[in-house]
């Protein structure tokens, strides 16, 4: 095992379990907090703060295994730095919204960056978790190996569950080698032309690693072995992209992404949505749309739902406004039954995702 | 009686009048959609794990999702267990009929409903064969990546139920990474769309939970799979080693060099010798182990990576490194690997294929331990692995007709799986738990974890009628098994009374 560059190494597992048991028996809810950098995301939830940021450290990392296991409170930047030292990275390229951002928070939020359509979602990389249930029991779901079909995949369920199912203590994720070559380029074209160019590029084995459209230009990031990257870059031509674009897109520092009220639409990338009510930025080859709009929630949700997608009010929900697309009643009931499996008393981040969950 | 098959350790259901059951199902299925005569039922008495057999009360053959839902409702109202079955190629007894169950065969739902080349997706019914998808989209320059060795026969619905893998998982992922949405019917007859046309869906990731759930949560009635563009160039290299430890080290070194091969397979001396005699693949018989490394991508890049893999293997002590000279030799190299299982017929009357995964770095230790266990149990073991992802397939050679033959093979298999857990791995990499590894689940998970799995099942199937006695052991079974197999004080079920 490599020595971790994470300075602090502390196991708060027992204390956290005690805190869960104490709060549970007192019948109070818990608000689970890592670095607090995404506290704006989701519905508001009350409760005693359960601070995970002290529970940190890399538990195991052997680069040839392509797996890292770390405690939930480990700063995500420390994990990414350690991986980079070893020529590796997180495939899902999560947004890091501040230095305090933690590994567990990144997994629980389930947000993936520009590489998502080409390298998979957060849950695609998660191999296993150690999680506290509402009784304060520590459950190990999944493991540390890529091929593992023993037991239900409760660990993948934790990615994007916003802490509603349990307290993540430890997560194992698969990591990827950093490709030998990377190029970025930009092409002057409207979205309609960009959409058909992307469809063509994605029908062929091209080394796409990012594809975004800002309303005027198509920005492409290529990554892979040198030969195919240079050949594809030569075929595409285009201009250079400002160095700040890709990090700004990933970490939400581009001006549009800092808007106080921001929608995130997940739609089929090939869908036809020519007119959007506001200012937009398309990522994920068109499969993710960031939208700043004065349209009503109902209108935006109808727009996304109409093409088979859904809309999230990523930031700036007003009082009484839902953040996530409402679920049909039978599906919500199934969610509630699943929550009760892990958290029968409903103490973990109640209502963060949906009322009654 | 095989221990795994001891149904006294499983949930039980009150007997149901068979005539009433048949009449109720006949009312919701087409005229040819029901098999109730014993000779017809015999066809379904086992899946790919042929040592275990059971007769269903009746076989239901729905033609569409509405009929599936209606049949499920009948089973729910009468309290009859339901076992779903795809092509029946599974190796863990996941489609083994429990006594008196309704066996729900999805084989007549075998249509490819839609191919969308722009979105790179195919919408298919669960009975469609895995390989049929790739065949149907090959002219578009696309393929469906997961390729279990049974891909000629196995169905996509079964693949989803088992989260099937294959030779190319290391680069292209498992079934769960290659599907976009599922239509899913519960025992209540309710239908859910999980996942969707976008890359994510609101709420919990239920599609991921349902994938690999072995028919315990519901029945998948439609699947939208993701397709990938076919690589322009594919090459295979064979590296031979004079000891297995060096071969294992070469595997770790290839990955550490930042190379993700499309496939990275390993065979030990016994396996490669039998495979060579069976298929004449051209394997070097003097080797103690060989690696097959498949690389794909653009032409120049593949050549550059091959050179790096060759250098890594030579540094690790390879005694021979050979590139397949042409497509015919590439196919021969793979034919040898794919023929390794049937080739076992040359070594013993029967073989029992084990399926565990370990962290790659433990490969040499695990191989040595398997050798020790093999000697202790007095049964030879040939080793074939998906080495790139640490997925082992030890093949235990035995004679089913010999007194206690199966029991001895199972005892050794169980010991190997427990070894995998001890080494930080898992009892099943891709075949599923099914009936076969139900006892070893008790070695991998604590009582609280197993109770959690039961509670997840109950959230979908409160009556427990879907594929009972599979995948998740009852705690009674774990107490019984733990008492037999674990050292005193170390059993994860020590706090439970025997019952």
pLDDT digits (tens, 9 = 90+) for A246-299: 999 999 999 999 999 999 999 999 998 988 999 999 999 999 999 999 999 999
| Beta carbons of A203 and B141 less than 8 Å apart | yes
With contact defined as beta carbons under 8 Å apart, do B218 and A152 qualify? Answer: no
Q: Nearest CA of chain B to the CA of A253: how many Å? A: 23
pLDDT at residue B480, as a whole number? 82
Instruction: Please compute the mean of the pLDDT values over residues A299-312 and round it to a whole number.
Output: 98
The yes-or-no answer to whether B3-105 and B233-342 have a common fold is no
Q: Which residues contact A261 (CB under 8 A, 6 or more apart)?
A: A292, A313, A315, A316
Q: In this structure, what DSSP letter does residue A296 have?
A: -
In the predicted model, is pLDDT for residue B104 greater than 50? yes
For residues B476 and B113, which has the higher predicted lDDT (pLDDT)?
A: B113
pLDDT digits (tens, 9 = 90+) for A60-85: 999 999 999 999 999 999 999 999 99
pLDDT at residue B5, as a whole number? 60
Give the nearest chain B residue to A354 (CA atoms): B203
pLDDT digits (tens, 9 = 90+) for B412-445: 999 999 999 999 999 999 999 999 999 999 999 9
| Beta carbons of A148 and B424 less than 8 Å apart | no
Residues of A with CB below 8 A from B203's CB?
Answer: 324, 327, 331-332, 335, 353-354
> Which of the four pLDDT bands, split at 50, 70 and 90, describes residue B3?
low
pLDDT digits (tens, 9 = 90+) for B29-53: 999 999 999 999 999 999 999 888 9
pLDDT digits (tens, 9 = 90+) for A320-348: 899 999 999 999 999 999 999 999 999 99
Report the share of chain A in percent with pLDDT over 70.
98
Give the nearest chain A residue to B177 (CA atoms): A124
With contact defined as beta carbons under 8 Å apart, do B119 and B97 qualify? Answer: no
Using the Cβ of B256 and the Cβ atoms of chain A, whether some distance falls under 8 Å is answered with: yes
**What CATH number labels B348-422?**
3.30.70.2740
Residues of B with CB below 8 A from A324's CB?
Answer: 202-203
Domain range summary for chain B, segments of one domain joined by +? 3-105, 112-229, 233-342, 348-422, 441-485
pLDDT at residue B334, as a whole number? 92
| Beta carbons of A156 and B437 less than 8 Å apart | no
Give chain A's largest Cα–Cα span.
65
Name the strand (E) or helix (H) holding B398.
strand B391-398
B466 three-class SS:
strand
Residues of B with CB below 8 A from A270's CB?
Answer: 116, 118-119
pLDDT digits (tens, 9 = 90+) for B293-303: 999 999 999 99
| Beta carbons of A205 and B205 less than 8 Å apart | no
Q: Nearest CA of chain A to the CA of B39: how many Å? A: 34
Q: Which residues pair with A173 in a beta bridge?
A: A68, A126
pLDDT digits (tens, 9 = 90+) for A196-205: 999 999 999 9
Phi, psi angles (nearest 5°) of residue A230: -65, -40
- Among the ranges given (A207-211, A271-275, B113-117, B208-212), the one the predictor scored with the smallest mean pLDDT: A271-275
Within chain A, all domains assigned CATH 3.30.465.10 are found at 13-177
With contact defined as beta carbons under 8 Å apart, do A20 and A81 qualify? Answer: no
Residue A147, Cβ density class (10 Å: 0-12 exposed, 13-18 middle, ≥19 buried): buried
Among B373, B360, B386, B397, CA closest to B270: B397
Evaluate whether ipTM surpasses 0.95. Answer: yes
| Beta carbons of A147 and B199 less than 8 Å apart | no
With contact defined as beta carbons under 8 Å apart, do B255 and B388 qualify? Answer: yes
Alpha carbons B453 and B460: distance in angstroms, whole number: 11
Tokens of B226: 């993701």
pLDDT at residue A91, as a whole number? 98
Q: Which residues pair with B296 in a beta bridge?
A: B234
Name the strand (E) or helix (H) holding A166.
none
pLDDT at residue A271, as a whole number? 95
pLDDT digits (tens, 9 = 90+) for B47-62: 999 888 999 999 999 9
| Beta carbons of A62 and B361 less than 8 Å apart | yes
Q: Nearest CA of chain A to the CA of B202: how many Å? A: 6
Matching residue, tokens 């790659």: B360
pLDDT at residue A2, as a whole number? 45
pLDDT at residue B358, as a whole number? 96
The long-range contacts involving B472-475, CB below 8 angstroms and separated by at least 24 positions, are B472/A151, B472/A152, B472/B216, B472/B433, B472/B438, B472/B441, B473/B9, B473/B438, B473/B439, B473/B441, B473/B442, B474/B9, B474/B10, B474/B11, B475/B447, B475/B450, B475/B451
| Beta carbons of B452 and A141 less than 8 Å apart | yes
Taking all residues of chain B, what is their mean pLDDT, rounded to a whole number? 93
Alpha carbons B148 and A347: distance in angstroms, whole number: 42
A147 three-class SS:
coil
Tokens of A278: 């506001």
| Beta carbons of A141 and B203 less than 8 Å apart | no
Q: Which of residues 290-349 of B touch A (CB under 8 A)?
A: 297-301, 304-305
Instruction: Please compute the mean of the pLDDT values over residues B340-344 and round it to a whole number.
Output: 89
For A175, B436, B437, the CA distances from A246, given in Å and listed in that order, are: 20, 49, 47
> Which of the four pLDDT bands, split at 50, 70 and 90, describes residue B12?
confident
Q: Which of residues 174-233 of B touch A (CB under 8 A)?
A: 174, 176-177, 190, 192, 196-206, 208-209, 211-213, 216-217, 229-232
Taking all residues of chain A, what is their mean pLDDT, rounded to a whole number? 96
> Which of the four pLDDT bands, split at 50, 70 and 90, describes residue B342?
confident
Give the nearest chain B residue to A179 (CA atoms): B258
In the predicted model, is pLDDT for residue A87 greater than 50? yes
Sign of CA dihedral B280, B282, B285, B290: negative
With contact defined as beta carbons under 8 Å apart, do A162 and A168 qualify? Answer: no
Residues of B with CB below 8 A from A63's CB?
Answer: 256
Report the share of chain B in percent with pLDDT over 70.
95
| Beta carbons of B196 and A309 less than 8 Å apart | yes
A263 three-class SS:
strand
Residues of A with CB below 8 A from B260's CB?
Answer: 176-177
Residues of A with CB below 8 A from B253's CB?
Answer: 64
Q: Which CATH number fits domain B3-105: 3.30.43.10, 3.30.70.2340, 3.50.50.60, 3.40.140.10?
A: 3.30.43.10
Among B439, B417, B419, CA closest to B428: B417
Q: Nearest CA of chain A to the CA of B296: how many Å? A: 10
pLDDT digits (tens, 9 = 90+) for B50-99: 888 999 999 999 999 999 999 999 999 999 999 999 999 999 999 999 98
**What CATH number labels B112-229?**
3.30.465.10
Q: Nearest CA of chain A to the CA of B457: how many Å? A: 9
By DSSP bridging, strand A310-315 and strand A262-266 are: antiparallel
B444 three-class SS:
helix
Of chain B, the end-to-end C-alpha distance in Å amounts to 20
Give the nearest chain B residue to A177 (CA atoms): B258
| Beta carbons of B298 and A227 less than 8 Å apart | yes
> Which of the four pLDDT bands, split at 50, 70 and 90, describes residue B4?
low
Phi, psi angles (nearest 5°) of residue A99: -65, -25
In the predicted model, is pLDDT for residue A6 greater than 80? no
Q: Which of residues 146-185 of B touch A (CB under 8 A)?
A: 162-163, 165, 169-170, 173-174, 176-177
Alpha carbons B48 and B37: distance in angstroms, whole number: 22
| Beta carbons of B297 and A228 less than 8 Å apart | yes
In the predicted model, is pLDDT for residue B488 greater than 70? no
> Which of the four pLDDT bands, split at 50, 70 and 90, describes residue B447?
very high
Alpha carbons B155 and A219: distance in angstroms, whole number: 40
Q: Which residues contact B208 (CB under 8 A, 6 or more apart)?
A: A123, A153, A156, A157, B176
**What CATH number labels B233-342?**
3.30.70.2190
In the predicted model, is pLDDT for residue B309 greater than 80? yes
Alpha carbons B63 and B42: distance in angstroms, whole number: 21
CB atoms within 10 A of CB B486: 17
Name the strand (E) or helix (H) holding A119.
helix A116-119
Q: Nearest CA of chain A to the CA of B20: how many Å? A: 30
Q: Which residues contact A90 (CB under 8 A, 6 or more apart)?
A: A79, A80, A83, A125, A173, A175, A176
Q: Nearest CA of chain B to the CA of A160: how many Å? A: 7
Residues of A with CB below 8 A from B437's CB?
Answer: 150
In the predicted model, is pLDDT for residue A150 greater than 60? yes
Matching residue, tokens 């051209």: B282
In the predicted model, is pLDDT for residue A43 greater than 60? yes
With contact defined as beta carbons under 8 Å apart, do B284 and B290 qualify? Answer: yes
Q: Which residues contact B351 (CB under 8 A, 6 or more apart)?
A: B341, B344, B345, B382, B395, B396, B397, B398
**Full DSSP string of B62-125:** -SSHHHHHHHHHHHHHHT--EEEESSS--SS-TTPPPTTPEEEE-TT---EEEEETTTTEEEE-
Q: Nearest CA of chain A to the CA of B34: how many Å? A: 30
> Which CATH topology does A13-177 take?
3.30.465
């Amino acid at each position: 095992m490599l020595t971790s560059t994470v300075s602090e190494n502390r196991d708060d597992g027992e204390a956290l379990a005690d805190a869960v048991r104490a709060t549970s028996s007192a019948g109070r809810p818990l608000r689970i907090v890592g670095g607090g950098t995404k506290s704006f995301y989701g519905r508001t939830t009350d409760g005693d703060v359960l601070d995970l940021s002290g529970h940190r450290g890399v538990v195991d990392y052997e680069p040839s295994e392509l797996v890292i296991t770390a405690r939930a409170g480990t700063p995500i930047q420390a994990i990414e730095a350690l991986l980079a030292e070893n020529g590796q990275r997180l495939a899902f390229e999560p947004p890091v919204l501040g230095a305090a951002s933690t590994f567990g928070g990144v997994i629980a939020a389930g947000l993936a960056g520009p590489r998502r359509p080409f390298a998979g979602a957060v849950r695609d990389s998660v191999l296993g978790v150690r999680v506290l249930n509402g009784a304060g029991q520590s459950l190990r779901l999944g493991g540390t190996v890529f091929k593992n079909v023993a037991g239900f995949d409760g660990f993948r369920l934790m990615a994007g569950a916003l802490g509603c199912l349990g307290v993540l203590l430890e997560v194992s994720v698969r990591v990827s080698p950093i490709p030998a070559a990377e190029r970025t380029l930009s092409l002057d074209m409207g979205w309609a032309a960009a959409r058909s160019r992307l469809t063509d590029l994605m029908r062929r084995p091209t080394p796409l690693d990012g594809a975004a459209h800002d309303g005027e230009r198509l920005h492409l990031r290529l990554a892979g072995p040198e030969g195919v990257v240079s050949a594809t870059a030569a075929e595409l031509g285009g201009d250079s992209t400002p160095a700040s674009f890709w990090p700004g897109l990933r970490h939400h520092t581009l001006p549009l992404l800092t808007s106080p009220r921001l929608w995130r639409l997940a739609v089929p990338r090939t869908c036809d949505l020519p007119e959007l009510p506001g200012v937009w930025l398309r990522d994920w080859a068109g499969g993710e749309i960031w939208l700043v709009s004065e349209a009503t929630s109902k209108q935006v949700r109808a727009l996304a739902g109409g093409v088979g997608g859904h809309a999230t009010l990523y930031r700036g929900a007003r009082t009484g406004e839902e953040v996530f697309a409402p679920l049909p009643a039978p599906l919500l009931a199934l969610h509630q039954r699943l929550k009760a499996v892990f958290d029968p008393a409903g103490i973990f981040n109640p209502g963060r995702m949906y009322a009654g969950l | 009686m095989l221990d795994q098959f001891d149904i006294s350790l499983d949930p039980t259901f009150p007997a149901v009048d068979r005539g009433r059951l048949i009449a109720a199902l006949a009312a919701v299925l087409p005229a040819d959609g029901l098999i109730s005569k014993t000779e017809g039922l015999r066809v379904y008495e086992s899946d790919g794990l042929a040592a275990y057999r059971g007769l269903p009360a009746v076989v239901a053959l729905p033609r569409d999702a509405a009929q599936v839902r209606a049949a499920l409702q009948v089973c729910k109202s009468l309290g009859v267990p339901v076992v779903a079955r795809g092509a029946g190629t599974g190796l863990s007894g996941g489609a083994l009929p429990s006594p008196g169950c309704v066996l729900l065969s999805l084989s007549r739902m075998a249509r490819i409903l839609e191919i969308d080349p722009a979105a790179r997706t195919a919408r298919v019914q669960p009975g469609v064969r895995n390989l049929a998808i790739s065949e149907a989209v090959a002219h578009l320059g696309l393929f469906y990546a997961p390729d279990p060795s049974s891909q000629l026969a196995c169905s996509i619905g079964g693949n989803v139920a088992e989260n099937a893998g294959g030779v190319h998982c290391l680069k292209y992922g498992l079934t769960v990474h290659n599907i976009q949405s599922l239509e899913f019917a519960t025992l209540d007859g309710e239908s859910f769309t999980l996942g969707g046309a976008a890359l994510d869906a609101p709420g919990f990731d239920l599609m991921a939970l349902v994938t690999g759930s072995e028919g315990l949560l519901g029945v998948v009635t439609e699947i939208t799979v993701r397709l990938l563009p076919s690589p322009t160039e594919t090459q295979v290299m064979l590296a031979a080693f004079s000891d297995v430890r060096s071969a294992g080290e070469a595997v770790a070194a290839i990955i550490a060099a930042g190379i993700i091969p499309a496939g990275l397979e390993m065979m030990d001396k016994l396996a490669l010798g039998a495979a060579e005699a069976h298929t004449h693949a051209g394997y070097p018989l003097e080797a103690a182990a060989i690696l097959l490394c498949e690389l794909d991508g653009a032409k120049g890049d593949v050549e550059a990576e091959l050179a790096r893999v060759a250098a890594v293997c030579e540094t690790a002590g390879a005694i021979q490194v050979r590139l397949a000279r042409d497509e015919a030799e590439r196919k021969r190299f793979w034919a040898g690997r794919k023929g390794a299982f049937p080739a076992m017929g040359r070594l013993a009357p029967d073989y029992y294929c084990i399926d565990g995964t370990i962290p790659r770095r433990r490969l040499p230790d695990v191989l040595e331990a398997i050798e020790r266990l093999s000697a202790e149990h007095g049964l030879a073991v040939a080793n074939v692995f998906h080495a790139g992802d640490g997925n082992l397939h030890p093949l235990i050679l035995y004679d089913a007709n010999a007194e206690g033959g199966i029991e001895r093979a199972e005892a050794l298999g169980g010991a190997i799986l427990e070894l995998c857990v001890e080494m930080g791995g898992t009892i099943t990499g891709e075949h599923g738990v099914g009936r076969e590894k139900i006892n070893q689940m008790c070695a991998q998970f604590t009582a609280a974890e197993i109770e959690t799995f039961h509670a997840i099942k109950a959230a979908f199937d409160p009556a427990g009628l879907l594929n009972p006695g599979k995948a998740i052991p009852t705690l009674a079974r774990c107490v019984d098994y733990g008492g037999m197999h674990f050292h005193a004080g170390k059993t994860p079920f020590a706090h439970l009374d025997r019952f």
